[in-house]
A and B are shown apart, each in its own frame.
Chain A
């Protein structure tokens, strides 16, 4: 079991460019989450999904879009990257409702110049 796999691990973008971060899990989890982590601010939820074909907004959704076309994959898109989106992005998954442990990927370090 690979668990939760995120690609890429590092990326540098120019302001205005677009990109997609991929999260894949092989644990047959229903729920998947995207967080961003900034110094001193902990983990903030961007978007999440409670099952294939569903998405919902978290605390800081502006500037991001997501899709969950397959149960095992959760994609995070930046349509027009801004320097404020420089961060470390973590994907997580869990079996079900909010009272289940979340399993995290290794993160993607994204820099926007």
Chain B
């Protein structure tokens, strides 16, 4: 069935260190993988996305990698800062329907 698994559910890293969040998806036809950041009490906001025709995409301190064979993708945040503290959601598109499926989220905390 349609499913996106996200790990870990919580992550605490020292300021300045890197953080990695991993997701797996079930539909081999999925071709779009966005990542959203949600600060406490706010709306989810897109921070980066990747399409199935590329293996990696970077935007300053954020990068996403995609392994289509293994059906998993990851978010990498380098040189973490206090403002990176939030809940992060991965998602995958499903070509059989006009929708995306979200992972259950990762609560990232940055320790000073």
Interface residues of B: mostly helix, strand, loop or mixed? strand
Interface residues of A in 68-113 (CB under 8 A from B): 90, 97-107
Interface residues of B in 36-56 (CB under 8 A from A): 42-46, 49, 51
Q: Which residues of B contact A (CB under 8 A)?
A: 6, 9, 31-32, 34, 42-46, 49, 51, 89, 93-95, 97-105
Q: Give Cα A107 to B44, complex, Å.
A: 10
Q: Give Cα A42 to B100, complex, Å.
A: 13
What are 27 inter-chain pairs, A to B, with CB distance below 8 A? A31-B98, A40-B104, A40-B105, A41-B104, A42-B6, A42-B102, A42-B104, A42-B105, A48-B98, A48-B99, A56-B97, A56-B98, A59-B101, A90-B43, A90-B44, A97-B93, A97-B98, A98-B32, A98-B95, A98-B98, A98-B99, A99-B31, A99-B32, A100-B32, A102-B46, A103-B46, A107-B43
Q: Is the CB of B89 within 8 A of A42?
A: yes
Q: Which residues of the other chain, A, contact B100 by a CB distance below 8 angstroms?
A: 98, 102
Chain B CB within 10 Å, residue with most, of A31, A43, A44: A43
Interface residues on A, range: 20 to 34
Q: Is A61 an interface residue (CB 8 A)?
A: no
B102's contact among A43, A100, A107, by CB below 8 Å, is which? A43
Q: Which residues of the other chain, A, contact B103 by a CB distance below 8 angstroms?
A: 42
Residue of A nearest to B51 (CB): A99
Q: Give Cα A100 to B98, complex, Å.
A: 10
Chain A CB within 10 Å, residue with most, of B44, B98, B101: B98
Q: Give Cα A14 to B99, complex, Å.
A: 32
